Amino acid sequence: MEANGGRGTDREVTVCLAGDVMLGRGIDQVLRYPGDPRLAEPWVTDARMYVEMAGTAHGPVPQPVAYEWPWGDLLEELGAEELRAAGPSARVLNLETSVTRSDDFAPDKSVHYRMNPANLQCLAAARPDVCVLANNHVLDFGREGLAETLESLGAAGLRTAGAGRDEAEAWRPAEVVLHLPECSPRTTSDLGPRLLVFSVGLPSSGIPLDWEATPERSGIALASAPSPAAAADLVARMRTARRPGDLVIVSIHWGSNWGYRVPPDHIRFAHDLVDGGADLVHGHSSHHPRPLEVYRGRLILYGCGDLVDDYEGITGHEQYRDDLRLLYTARLDQATGTLRGLRLTPFQARRLSLHRAGLRDAHWLHDALTRHGAPFSTSLTVGSDATLTLAQGKQEV
């Protein structure tokens, strides 16, 4: 999907953002062309067991399901957000799955995600504009698995950022052109401003250090730490790639899977990126939503939580309600990049599909995110349609 719409100081860019999308393992098994179900996990050796656990928790999952099934009600909401958009729109998600038939399980890892390339229509059903790949699962099946992942996504016409055949490709941002649909430009440079999406991973999310792309080796865009030096390096890359009128998103895979605390070095890193010109920081890795912040008029999502996975039936962290998933819809001023509004639409995972959550669940999310977001002076309001809206103090954004 190529973004479209108008330009100018009164125009907006609508960006739909999601956290981790894991279409491998149990999800892959219920699609039309299930891949090899073998796993190298300590306790689960067959991906079909995750389908059984989901069925035990919430009812049997039909097999095979349509490619739209894992997205469920989300697809209708994405269409509605696109209709509501006053200008260009784009969709950005973290694809935390290898797309490969390889059986070269990465050593020293207990969890590996892969989906059969023949099932890529499932990913395409959500029409993502950018799939960010700098995460701790894209090389789960080695560099050959990464090569097949990049080839498969490219052949499907899906833009990627954060992984590549060498360092230059891994760090290259994805470009989404923001232009008027009636324009007939003569050259690419006439297309107008772009949305640039940089993708970077940090070791704190579980990324092995030897996954880093180098001039001679494929891999991901990996920053060694959320340090001032790493922020300065990324800011320099942003400034090199940026043209007048462009907006910049930095998508970061960082931090632990559980808990609401945002480490001080993550806050400092995000602030340094905004100070250096980033218009939005898109953080992910946590399995549940973490607090968010508006800093100097720019949105920082410290942890979006999972969107699609096969975790139903897995116990141990019920206090975080990881069955609740969020779609983040941010409206940015196209001229300045400042945040004009943020809508959070909650869903609940049931039978490996997403269903709109009700008011009770929306209020649970409101209470959790508002309480833990207190250090950032941010709060949320709940609408009658069970969506959440970001507020700054008493003034809604």
Q: Are 249 and 92 in contact (CB under 8 A)?
A: yes
Q: What is the pLDDT of residues 177-223, one digit of tens each?
A: 986 444 444 444 556 799 999 999 999 999 999 999 999 999 999 99
pLDDT value at residue 391: 81
State the pTM of this model.
0.94
Q: What is the pLDDT of residues 77-111, one digit of tens each?
A: 999 999 999 889 999 999 999 999 999 999 989 99
Specify the pLDDT at position 187.
Answer: 47
Average pLDDT, the chain: 93
Query: Model confidence over 336-389: pLDDT tens digits?
Result: 999 999 999 999 999 999 999 999 999 999 999 999 999 999 889 999 999 999
Q: Was domain 12-396 assigned CATH 3.60.21.10?
A: yes
Q: Check residue 392 and give its pLDDT.
A: 54
Q: Domain residue spans in the chain?
A: 12-396
Average pLDDT for 125-135: 98
Mean pLDDT of 138-148: 98
Give me the pLDDT at residue 86, please: 85
Q: Average of pLDDT values for 139-155?
A: 98
Res 397: pLDDT: 52
